[in-house]
Structure 1
C-alpha cells in the first residue's frame, strides 16, 4: 500500500528590497541614512527662517516639523500602505526648488498664503496624476535639467546671503561671518578629501559640526538654551495661523508640481535599478507621487514647503549593498524621534546662520551640478536644444541676478515674472513643445515640379504638376 506523499510546496524567494533584517542592524543602517541626509532639512529650515526673519521659537517649531514630516514621508514611501508610496528604499526631504517658490510666495503675498499654496499643490497632485502620463513627454531631461540649473544658482545665492547678510543692512559683509562661512566650506572639503567610506559620505555634516565648534570658540554661538524647556516638543499645528488660499499666488508651485512628477518618475526608476528590482513605471510611479502629495499636504499645515522624494540615499544603498526598504523605514522612525526630542532641535537651532550658509552653499551647489549632468544627457549638440536651454536660462536668471527688474509690472504678473525658476521651466517647456512636438504646416503650393511624360513619338516632355 502506497504511502501518500506530502504535498510539494514552493516558496518564492524574497527580493532583497523586501527582506526583513534584525532590528538592531536595521536601526543601525537607518541611522546611517539619517546622518547623510540630515543636513538638508537643517539647511532648508534655516533658509526659510533667515529669509522670513522668524523668531527662534518658530524656527525650532519648523525644524521639529521638518524632521517629523520627513520621517513620516520616508515611512510612507518605504512601506507603501494603501498604494501610497513607492515601496522602495526612499527618504523624503524638503525640496530645493519648492523652497525658493515657497519663499517667493511668502515674501510677496505673506507666509499664510505660502502655506495655503503648499496645501493646494498637495491636492493638485491627485488632480493631475490621471493625465500625467500624457504630459510626461513634454518634460524631458532638457527641460528638467535647465530648471535644476536655475534652482541651484538661486539657492547658492540665497545660501550666500546667510553668510554675508543682505546688501544695505547692518552687518553686511561682517568679517567674522565671512570667516565662519568660508571655514565651514574648507572643513567640508578637508573631510571629503582626507576621509573615506562612511566618513567621506558624512563630510557635509562633519563640516557643519566643525564650523559650529569654531563659532563656539570665537564666541559666536550660545548653547545655553539647550537645557531650557522640557525634554519633548511636538511640532505646532498652523504655526503661521490659518492658511490663505489663492490660485494666482499658488501658480508657481502648481506649475512646479508637474515637473516634480516627472522628476519623481526618474527617481523611482533609478531607485529600482539601484536595488535590482524590475518595476512597471505605470504602476509604481503613481505610488511615489501619491506619497509626495500626502506628505506635502500634511506638511503645509505645519508651515513647511513641499516635501519630495530624495535620491541622496541611493548612494548609501549602492555602497553598503543593503537594499531593504525597511532600512529607510527605520530612518523614518529615527527622524520622527529627533523631531520630538526638544534638546536636539534646540541645539540644532543654535548653529550660527553663517555656518549653515557655508554648508548650504556646498549642498545647493550640488543641485546645479546635477542639473548640468542632466543637461549632458539632453543632446546639446543639437542646435535647437542649445537654443532652448540658453533662452530658458537667460530668462530664468534675469530676476535672480537683477532683483526688482519687473517692479513696474502689475502685482499678479510680477509674482510670475520674478520667479526665475517658474519662468525658466515654463520657457524651456514651451520651447521644447514648439521645436520638437509641433510641426510647421507645409505651404499649400510648392514650386512647380516637373515629371517626365511619354509622347506618342516616344520622346519625353515635362508635365507640370502642383503637389
Structure 2
C-alpha cells in the first residue's frame, strides 16, 4: 500500500495546471507591474527604459515564484503555492536613493540588502515560535484590510481629485465582476468552480472592450522578444545610507512574507516550520540580489494569491510553478505582457478586492483559535489593528500614505507600512502580556 502524495505535492492534468496557473498570474499581474511603472515614472525614465524595468520585473518574479514552489535543495524555496512579486515597500526608498545617489546606487543597495536577507533568513525564521495565532491572525487581518485601499484605487482611480474618479462605468465593471464571482462560486462545481475568478475576469474584459475601456494599441507596439542585459544602468555603487535604507526594506518585506507563508501553510494543511520559513525568506533575499543585477525589484509573497488559494481550495504547488514559468515567458516576450496590461484595472480590481478580503478572512480564522477570556488578548488585537491601520487611512489625494510624512525618511519606510506597524505591535504586545513575567513551567505558546 502506497501513501498518496500531500495535496501540495499532487500534480494535475496539463490543461488544468495551465488554466489555474494563468488565473494566479492574471490576479497578480497588475500589482506586479505597478512597481516598475511607478518607479520609472518618478525617475523620469524614457519609455524604452520603463519597458525594460517591466520585463525584468516579470522575469525575476517568475524565477522567484518558481524557486518558492519547486525549491532548490535545502536552501531556497518553501515548496508551497506561493506567488512572488515586486513589493511596494521598495518604491519610496528607491526614488529617494536615486534622487540623492543615482540609479546605480539603487541597484547596489538592492544587491547588498539581498545578501543581508540571506544572512538573516534563518535567525528571522526562528522567531516563528513567537507568531502564535494571536499574532499571525492579527497581522493577516491587517494585511487584508490595508490592501483594500489599493484595491479601491484600481476600481475608482488613483487620484481622488481627478474628475473621473469613481466613474460609474468603472464601478459597474468591477461590481459586475464581483457579482459574476458570486454567481460562479454558487453555481459552478469542480474545476469550473475553481477557475470562477478567471472566468469572471474574462467576462469583464469582454464587456470592457465594446465600452472602449480596453486599449490594445500597446500590443502592436511591443516587441516579440526582449530581456535587459545585467547592470543595464551601469556598475552598482554602495552608499552606506542607501544600503541601510534597503536593508530596512528587506526587514519590512520579511515581516509581510512571514505572515503570508504562515497563512499558506495553514490553508494547505502543511504548516510552515522554522526551516521552511527560512528557505522562503532566503528566496526573498535571492530575488533582491537577482533584481539588483537584472534591473528589477525585490520580491515578496503576494497576498492576493494567498486569498486565491483559500477561495479555490487548489493547494498544488505545481499550479504556482506554472505561474512562475508564465511570468518568465512574459518577461522574455513583452507582447504577451502588453496584452494582459490592456485588461482594465477595474476588471482586475473587482477580483483583487475579493482576494484581499480572503486574506483578512484567514486572519479571522486564526483569531478564532485564540482564547480571549480572562486575559488581554483582545486588547493586543485592538491596539495592533487600530494603530497599525492608521497609515492606510491617512492618504493624500493620490492615495499615498502621508500619516507619518514629518518623520525621517528611513523611519517612514517602516512606519508607512500598516503591515510592519501591526506586526511590531502584535509581536511586542504578545511578549509583554503573554510571556514576560510568566511563572516557570507555564506554556506561553499555547494557542491564545
TM-score range, shorter chain: 0.7 to 0.9
Contact 2:17–2:319 under 8 Å retained in 1: yes
Q: SS of the counterpart of 2:215?
A: coil
Partner of 2:301: 308
Deviates more, 1:310-319 or 1:349-358: 310-319
- Distance in 2 separating the partners of 1:143 and 1:117: 31
Q: Indicate which of 4, 24, 29 corresponds to 1:42.
A: 29
Q: Relative to structure 1, is the Cα distance of residues 51 and 207 closer, same or farther in structure 2, using a 3 angstrom cutoff?
A: farther
Q: Indicate which of 432, 436, 439 corresponds to 2:434.
A: 436
2:244 counterpart of 1:247: yes
Deviates more, 1:176-185 or 1:230-239: 230-239
Q: Relative to structure 1, is the Cα distance of residues 69 and 196 closer, same or farther in structure 2, using a 3 angstrom cutoff?
A: farther
Q: Per-residue CA shift, 1:304-348, capped at 9, x if unaligned?
A: 34233865786799769xx6x666555543442343233321111
Deviates more, 1:253-262 or 1:108-117: 108-117
- 5+ residue gaps, structure 2, are 396-401, 440-448
Q: Indicate which of 360, 363, 366 corresponds to 2:358.
A: 366
Deviation at 1:193, TM superposition (A): 2.6
Contact 1:41–1:66 under 8 Å retained in 2: no
Q: For 1:177-326, list aligned pairs within 5 A.
A: 177-234=170-227, 245-248=242-245, 250-258=247-255, 260-261=257-258, 263-264=260-261, 267=264, 271=268, 273=269, 281=273, 283-300=275-292, 301-308=294-301
Q: SS of the counterpart of 1:231?
A: coil
TM-score of the aligned structures, taking structure 1 as reference length: 0.73
- Distance in 1 separating the partners of 2:169 and 2:295: 34
Q: Relative to structure 1, is the Cα distance of residues 118 and 126 closer, same or farther in structure 2, using a 3 angstrom cutoff?
A: same
Partner of 1:28: 15
Partner of 1:169: 162
Deviation at 1:386, TM superposition (A): 0.8
Partner of 2:85: 94
Deviation at 1:254, TM superposition (A): 1.0
- 5+ residue gaps, structure 1, are 1-11, 442-467
Q: SS of the counterpart of 1:368?
A: helix
Partner of 1:390: 382
2:147 counterpart of 1:159: no
Partner of 1:135: 127
2:134 counterpart of 1:146: no
- Distance in 2 separating the partners of 1:402 and 1:58: 32
Deviation at 1:299, TM superposition (A): 3.6
Partner of 1:401: 393
Deviation at 1:237, TM superposition (A): 5.3
Q: Per-residue CA shift, 1:48-70, capped at 9, x if unaligned?
A: 36766848766755554454334
Q: Per-residue CA shift, 1:363-394, capped at 9, x if unaligned?
A: 22222222222222233345411111100111
- Distance in 1 separating the partners of 2:8 and 2:262: 24
- Distance in 2 separating the partners of 1:362 and 1:145: 18
Q: SS of the counterpart of 1:230?
A: coil
2:118 counterpart of 1:126: yes
Deviation at 1:13, TM superposition (A): 6.8
Contact 2:125–2:278 under 8 Å retained in 1: no
- Distance in 2 separating the partners of 1:129 and 1:250: 12
Contact 2:128–2:274 under 8 Å retained in 1: no
Contact 1:35–1:202 under 8 Å retained in 2: no
Q: Relative to structure 1, is the Cα distance of residues 102 and 377 closer, same or farther in structure 2, using a 3 angstrom cutoff?
A: farther
Q: Relative to structure 1, is the Cα distance of residues 66 and 46 closer, same or farther in structure 2, using a 3 angstrom cutoff?
A: closer
Q: SS of the counterpart of 1:38?
A: helix
Partner of 1:73: 64
Q: SS of the counterpart of 2:283?
A: helix
Q: SS of the counterpart of 2:209?
A: helix
Which has the higher Rg, Structure 1 or Structure 2?
1
Deviation at 1:425, TM superposition (A): 1.2
Deviates more, 1:341-350 or 1:28-37: 28-37
Q: Relative to structure 1, is the Cα distance of residues 359 and 57 closer, same or farther in structure 2, using a 3 angstrom cutoff?
A: farther
- Distance in 1 separating the partners of 2:7 and 2:173: 44
Q: Indicate which of 372, 397, 417 corresponds to 1:419.
A: 417
Deviation at 1:215, TM superposition (A): 1.5
- Distance in 2 separating the partners of 1:239 and 1:337: 20
Q: Per-residue CA shift, 1:278-310, capped at 9, x if unaligned?
A: x99455543343334323432454433423386
